[in-house]
Amino acid sequence: MTDFIAGLPKVELHLHIEGSLEPELMFELAQRNQVAIPFDSTEAVRAAYDFHNLQSFLDIYYQGANVLIHEQDFFDLTWAYLLRCAQDNVIHTEIFFDPQTHTDRGIEFATVVNGICRALEQGRTELGISSQLIMCFLRHLDEEAAFHTLEMALPFKDKIVAVGLDSSEQGNPPQKFARVFARALEYGFLTVAHAGEEGTPQNIRDALSLLSISRVDHGVACAGDEALMDELAQNRMPLTVCPLSNTKLKVFERMEDHNIAMLLRRGLCVTINSDDPAYFGGYMTDNFSAVANALPLSEAELAQFTLNAIEASFVDATSKAEMTARVQAYLAAR
């Protein structure tokens, strides 16, 4: 199974680029940009990655982002992630970025987008990895800040396929951003949102009805609502599930307790993703392996996670067909 997973073509739909900041790069950028960080070694950073919930992770996540200042920093961050994608046989990725994390520090929106997109373009030409970029609003900030960020994104609309909603789910329900998402849809952006990670099944229902989302990011709380699971399966509404993240943040105590296999067998369009891999201990192969080691899944079922991700991706029908053919050829050759 290890060899099968290593060779399986993969598609990632839930990756926060700031969450791929490895301690080594954090230290390198801190030194390059003369930014003080409260750690004296990469080991000290890794030791701090002992989270007990989403907020304890977010506290250090935003702290780490302070080392990202120049366009080259965002390029280096994204390029390092794409090299990991190449190692893990990720053929397509749709990544999140959090502009407010940077613009609130005085970093220009263009600096962030141009650095990330330069790396994505190089990933297409040099690594053969296709990609899309999704801009997330920080839900712990207010609606006005989200509207302002949406307006800042308009000159870069050719580079950004969708808007999303991330950060603290508790206390920041979907309805807080219903008007922002309506405006984003008017501008022609697709929409996705984090829902049902730490929140309730109702958050998933509200995100679907109020934000008109095309994908539910996380969504594992749907298991608490039988009717909702049936609706999600019937509508093929994708769930971008992040297994290692879920166990690291205690959504599930152990991977053996995770509901991803059950959701897959219920016919839901479930996908596997790495979320914030530098912080949660693993990229795509690590997540697939953790699931396969804890839960009895066949090769065909593991491949279905990729096929689901292709179906859920924001690419054209031709690209989907090409990626699907690669997965089917890989299975046929087994």
Residues annotated as catalytic are: 197
Percentage helix, strand, coil, to 5, in the chain?
60, 15, 30
Q: Give the closest residue to 14 by CA, choosing from 237, 253, 284, 198.
A: 284
Give the whole-angstrom CA distance, residue 65 versus residue 62: 5
What is residue 275's DSSP assignment? B
- The CB density around residue 209, as the number of other CB atoms within 10 Å, is 12
Q: Which residue has the tokens 């109020």?
A: 210
Which residues have a Cβ under 8 Å from the Cβ of 84 and sit 6 or more positions away?
Answer: 20, 277, 283
At residue 61, the 3 state secondary structure works out as: helix
